[in-house]
Amino acid sequence: MDLGDKSVIVVGPAGYLENEDNTEYVNSFDVVCRPNVRIVDGRLSLPPNTGRRCDVVFHSGGWMGQRYDIGNGKMAMYGENDGICESLLRAYKDNGVKHILICSDWNLRIQNAVRVCNLVGLPYSVVTVPNQKFTTGLHGLCQIISEHPGKLAIKGFDFYQTDHRGYTGYYNGHNGDSSGHDHVESFDFFITTILPQVRLEIDYHLKKLIFDRCGYIVLHDVFDEDFLCECLKEIHPRDKRGQSIIDVENYPNTYSIKEYATIHKNLKNVLGTDDYRFCSHNDIGINRLTDWHKDRLNNKYREYETISPFETHEGKKHNIVKVCVYLQDHSKNMDALKVIPRSHTREDMFAFKTFIQLQPRLGDVIIFDQRLTHCGMQRHKDETRVLVTFGFGENNIFTDNFEKGTIARQTDQLKANRV
């Protein structure tokens, strides 16, 4: 396959696709890829509301008559509507499929699939599976990434993290992890290995799943570079190196970031509600050095934290995030945030050990749960580095407490700055 400079979308089978129309969006791409496509009544069985195009099929290579594990101790068998055989591949061709990715390291599967592809005249590639526990969809996605398409998006991927899996005509029998698949391992690999390295266009459903799982999300290309340059000019950072500015309202361009519509669409999504507010936290950090920490109220301000952020109170939970915007590009350095995925779920800062170095481009936005263990720049740099942050939280007692403590802290900080 030659995908250079082409726009590519991989459409998975997640159940939420039934409730929205993505046909026009899917059809806008040069190449449409889909995993594990069945044939029903001579036609491709595709997720509803995603159009009829399918240029590339990802297939595990399972042949007609072969048994396979579908989880929960149950087995199923490939038939002529989904197992590699002459009738399946001819139906693929008749329905516009131009290429098949054989995602397997099982020689018998590969040999059979190659034989039938050659017999039918359907172009193919063999993807040697790096991890047998990954799904066919993830294996195929990794191969597409290696082809370096000009633009890459995924739709209908939930890594089996939601209750509604698949749709009528798909593999509804898959009810959980099996001997062949570990869905959590696949999801974690996607989060920790693919997302930091590949600029993917993903939808709100997957953003929410990622945020809930790992405690942060990076939004790409939210701001125009010219606008952020205007923010930088009004701050005059060279005169304020090593400072934290908390009277951000005195910098109107920069302060307007917190009202940006795209940010609020994503806030409603990750917070899971539109009942939230700006909770008085804002600052501009200029070449600020920080070690590993969680954004809790500390020192004398801890008294405002009447309930631990890791507890539940009257059915409510902590639901406060920070919105971070860098005013420089960090795609080629290690000076932006480091985060420890899933650490927002534990009070112990280092209950999880593996950290991710984020490398946002100018215009990107990071949203993270403020309980997440994270770290900023740890050594002095000659270059100017400016980070703008705003805090938002669901309207409940946790946000009330944090806001009271934040106001007290920032009031004391302003008094000290005037002295």
pLDDT by residue (tens digit) across 309-337?
999 999 999 999 999 999 999 999 999 99
> Which whole number is the average pLDDT over 135-161?
91
Q: How far apart (Å, rounded) are the C-alpha atoms in residues 238 and 177?
A: 54
Q: Are strands 7-11 and 216-219 parallel, antiparallel or unpaired?
A: unpaired
DSSP state of 19: G
Residue 128 neighbours by CB distance under 10 Å: 11
Q: How confident is the model at residue 239 (pLDDT cuts 50, 70, 90)?
A: low
Backbone phi and psi for residue 125, each to the nearest 5 degrees, phi listed first: -135, 150
Backbone phi and psi for residue 216, each to the nearest 5 degrees, phi listed first: -160, 160
Taking the domains of the chain in order of start, what are their residue ranges? 7-212, 216-418
Helix (H, G, I), strand (E, B) or coil at 78: coil
Q: How far apart are the first and last CA of the chain?
A: 66
Residue 70 is predicted with a pLDDT of 67
Q: How far apart (Å, rounded) are the C-alpha atoms in residues 37 and 57?
A: 7
Q: Where are the alpha helices (DSSP H) in 158-203?
A: 183-189
Task: Please list, in sequence order, all residues whose beta carbon lies within 8 angstroms of the beta carbon of residue 131, skipping any fewer than 6 positions away.
Answer: 185, 189
Q: How far apart (Å, rounded) are the C-alpha atoms in residues 413 and 285?
A: 14
Residue 316 is predicted with a pLDDT of 93
Q: Are strands 320-326 and 338-339 parallel, antiparallel or unpaired?
A: unpaired
Residue 170 is predicted with a pLDDT of 55
Q: How far apart (Å, rounded) are the C-alpha atoms in residues 26 and 33?
A: 10
Q: CA nearest 107: which of 129, 139, 87?
A: 129
Q: How far apart (Å, rounded) are the C-alpha atoms in residues 173 and 13?
A: 13
Residue 177 is predicted with a pLDDT of 53
Residue 44 is predicted with a pLDDT of 94
Same fold, 7-212 and 216-418: no
Asked if residue 250 has pLDDT above 70, the reply is: yes
Task: Please list, in sequence order, all residues whose beta carbon lies within 8 angstroms of the beta carbon of residue 417, skipping any fewer than 6 positions away.
Answer: none
Asked if residue 193 has pLDDT above 80, the reply is: yes
Q: CA nearest 370: which of 334, 336, 335, 406?
A: 406
Backbone phi and psi for residue 277, each to the nearest 5 degrees, phi listed first: -150, 160
pLDDT, tens digit (0-9, with 9 covering 90-100), for 383-410 = 889 999 999 999 999 999 999 999 998 8
Q: How confident is the model at residue 10 (pLDDT cuts 50, 70, 90)?
A: very high
Q: How far apart (Å, rounded) are the C-alpha atoms in residues 45 and 169?
A: 6
Residue 407 is predicted with a pLDDT of 92
Q: How confident is the model at residue 176 (pLDDT cuts 50, 70, 90)?
A: low
> Which whole number is the average pLDDT over 228-236?
93
> Which whole number is the average pLDDT over 331-359?
94
> Which whole number is the average pLDDT over 80-95?
94
> Which whole number is the average pLDDT over 343-368?
95
Asked if residue 175 has pLDDT above 70, the reply is: no
Out of 3.40.50.150, 2.60.120.620, 3.40.50.720, 3.60.15.10, the CATH code matching 216-418 is 2.60.120.620
Angle in degrees, 0-180, between the axes of helices 86-94 and 107-120, rounded to the nearest 10: 50
Residue 124 is predicted with a pLDDT of 96
CATH level 3 topology of 7-212: sialyltransferase cstii, chain A (3.90.1480)
Q: How confident is the model at residue 105 (pLDDT cuts 50, 70, 90)?
A: confident
- 246 or 124, which is more confident? 124
* Tokens found for residue 377: 């720049």
Give all strands of the β-sheet with 99-103 in edge-to-edge order.
124-127, 99-103, 56-59, 31-35, 7-11, 151-155
pLDDT, tens digit (0-9, with 9 covering 90-100), for 50-81 = 999 999 999 999 998 888 776 667 777 888 88
Per-residue burial over 299-317, b = 16 or more CB atoms within 10 Å of its CB, e = otherwise: eebeebbeeebeeeeeeee
As a whole-number percent, the residues of the chain with pLDDT over 70 amount to 93
- Cα torsion 45, 48, 53, 59 to 10°: value is -40
Name beta bridge partners: 63.
Answer: 84
Q: How far apart (Å, rounded) are the C-alpha atoms in residues 371 and 295?
A: 6
> Which whole number is the average pLDDT over 349-374?
96
